[in-house]
A and B are shown apart, each in its own frame.
Chain A
Amino acid sequence: MRKIIASLTFAALALGTLSANADIVVIVNPKNPAASLTADQVSALYLGNASTFPEGGAALLADQPESAGIRNDFYQKATGRSASQVKATWARITFTGKGTPPKELKSDADVKAFVASDPKAIGYIDSSAVDGSVKVALKL
């Protein structure tokens, strides 16, 4: 019995470690002049506090679907707020005409394709999905 509990504990620990290791990366188009972005800069964009990259170019934001676990993890790590808090913030911004919310796409692959096709785009995906079509601007 003790053995089973021990191995269950180990399994739980391993799972916990695994999910913590699933890095989220913020990606931009390879043509984006920014070599990297800080967490504050990404947070400002995704909370509607900034609408341009530090170099001044307009930013086009991509989001993951609400059902995807990565969405809540991203907002927690990048902005310190939950995805639902951020959604209420964007509702206020949208209906007072102060900005346009991030465009919701279906998957890592869709976000990557969107960012690869537009020099203004920015998105976030699981680090395992990164390839040469996009540039990693920040690891969360």
Chain B
Amino acid sequence: MRSRLSAIALAVAAALPSAAGAIDFSYSGFGTLGYAQTDTDLAQVGYSGMPEGVDEDGSFEFDSKLGLQVTARFNDMFFATVQGVAYENLTSEWEPHLDWAYIGFKPVSSLTVRGGYLRAPMFMYSDSVFIGYANTWVRPPLEVYRLTPVYQLLGGDVVWRQNFGKVTASLQAYYGESEIDTKDPTTGSTSTIDVPEWYGLVGSVEVGSLSLRAGYSRIAMPDDLTDARLQPAIDMLNSYAGMGCGECAIDASRLALAGLELDMLSLGAQYDDGGNVAIAEYARRETGRIVTNDMYSAYFTYGHRFGGFMPYATYAIARHDGYESSAIPASSPFAGFAAVADGALAATPNDQDTYSVGLRYELSSVPALKGAVVKLQYDHIKAKEGNGLFINVQPGFEGKTDMISASFDFIF
């Protein structure tokens, strides 16, 4: 990661002198001071893999962010942008990250080519998920936005955007690789998972108050990815496979993480006529595996502006899809092993419903800030089956919690 960064820094530095004197620098920033708290200490709300999420002790780290951006415009065609953001990532540490660092090239007004560190637009708000000021909720619905742990692309994208009178159409294709920082909650040791390939395509159409979008993305995980908790079961099933149990091999491969590929499909719609705001998004994850299983999520949000106030409500769901039991048929001579497979496969039905209501209030003028909003949100999160999307679940958890959140979001 560091060596790649310095390569980008060198490339930026090399590009600088050629345009020295005429470079137009612009600085801007955004931030969120957020607080969230639930009513249980037996489970937490968070992203999959986080050692620590939100529980009844409350968290300032979960939603809080501070971002700074510098853009250098060398001429009408070339520009470079660096954006650093401090936030809590999957290691549950609130710390600064280099989120965007790229060089851009605009050969014609409708086309932009960028290379470097980017946030890929996997879902409707993936690339602007941290810009709380621009978003309706305290945080985008987790049902959709936690479907993938991968967010930062090291690679390139091509953005085509064209206006035709009342209609604006855009297409964005991206290709590259990624990394995921993780932390073992028991040992506290951190490690990095390399994501060797990630690509996708997004198309959108905007007509007046309505915008529609569709996206597809494929993420390939490394061939040597393992999960220590599942390895004994996988090894056992593979040894049965060696004895002639073909279905045991199928069960073993479903449990394995090695070579995992995530196919992500998302459909989104947004309507904003100044008074009414409606947002709907559907996202589907296909892996053919048990851990990081096939599932789909969706949400619908409606809000109405009354001057600077906007009350809003959201209903979000997550549903699993696909296998839950062993592939070994009862008629198989190896039927006795199905119990081993089922034990491991009875993994994680992650069905969940969330009902949210909130209030977004636009502050009219705050000194030193370009814009600021205050949001209050209440979520009722209920696991439909198993533990839903809750993390770090303790015995005795009843599968539901109420969460309150407050945030102050600003741009400067």
Residues of A that sit less than 8 Å from B by CB: 38, 40, 44, 49-52, 56, 58, 66-67, 80-82, 84-85, 87-89, 91-92, 94-98, 100
Contacts and interface: CB of A to CB of B under 8 A. Distances in A.
B100 A91 contact: no
A66 B134 CA distance: 17
Nearest to B99: A95
Given A94-B28, A95-B30, A97-B81, 7 more contacts: A38-B165, A49-B168, A56-B109, A84-B308, A92-B128, A95-B128, A97-B71
Top 7 nearest A-B pairs by Cβ distance? A52-B109, A50-B163, A49-B168, A92-B134, A44-B163, A91-B134, A88-B134
B159 A58 contact: no
Interface string B2-38: 0000000000000000000000001010100000000
Nearest to B362: A84
Given A81-B274, A84-B362, A51 B109 contact: yes
Q: Is the interface of B mostly helix, strand, loop or mixed?
A: strand
B152 to A, nearest CB: 13
Is the interface on chain B under 10, 10 to 19, 20 to 34, or 35 or more residues?
35 or more
A49 B163 contact: yes
Contacts of B83: 95, 97
Interface string B263-281: 0000000001110000000
Contacts of A40: 165-166
A98 B272 contact: no
B128 A96 contact: yes
A92 B119 CA distance: 13
Interface in B370-395: 370-371
18 contacts: A38-B165, A40-B166, A51-B109, A67-B365, A81-B272, A84-B371, A85-B272, A85-B274, A87-B370, A87-B411, A88-B133, A95-B28, A95-B128, A95-B134, A97-B71, A97-B100, A98-B112, A100-B73
B69 interface: yes
A80 B128 contact: no
A115 B105 CA distance: 26
B395 to A, nearest CB: 43
Contacts of B179: none
A85 to B, nearest CB: 6
Indicate the member of B118, B119, B371 with the most A CB atoms within 10 Å: B371
B87 interface: no
Contact of A95 (B131, B161, B371): B131
Contact of B131 (A67, A80, A91, A98): A91
Contact of B371 (A44, A67, A91, A100): A91
